Amino acid sequence: MVTLYVAGRKVDWADAGRVLADRAAFAERIELRDESGQVVNRLRSEFVAFDDDPDWVKAITPEAIERAKQEPGFTFEEVKKRLGWR
């Protein structure tokens, strides 16, 4: 069995999602150890956090959303027909 360690502390797998969801965890050493405590793998974080939305998201204005909502749309059945799924 492999055990997760973050900053030298054992992390139960049930808590791993919560612990790794914290950005601070990626600044620490993350290791996988076997039953004897021997390190079998060290993980290096390549976590990239976006503090800002990408430009294409910023370009979607409330006015653009309202315009799109006013345009005619297609039902799922119409889309399938247009794509030749029927």
Q: Is the pLDDT of residue 14 over 90?
A: yes
Q: Is the pLDDT of residue 4 over 70?
A: yes
Residues 33 and 5: beta-carbon distance below 8 Å: yes
Determine phi and psi for 14, rounding to 5 degrees.
-65, -25
Q: So what's the pLDDT on residue 60?
A: 92
Q: Which domain holds residue 36?
A: 3-43
Q: Which residues are CB-contacts of 28 (< 8 A; sequence separation ≥ 6)?
A: 6, 7
pTM (two decimals): 0.51
Q: Is the pLDDT of residue 24 over 90?
A: no
Query: 61 lies in a domain?
Result: no
Q: So what's the pLDDT on residue 44?
A: 79
Q: Give the number of domains in the chain.
A: 1
Residues 32 and 4: beta-carbon distance below 8 Å: yes
Query: 81 lies in a domain?
Result: no
Q: Tell me which of 16 and 46 has the higher pLDDT.
A: 16
The overall average pLDDT reported for the chain is 88
Query: 78 lies in a domain?
Result: no
pLDDT tens track for 45-74: 776 666 677 888 888 999 999 999 999 999
pLDDT, mean of residues 26-43: 91
Query: 29 lies in a domain?
Result: yes
CA angle (19 as vertex; 21, 15 as ends), nearest 5: 120
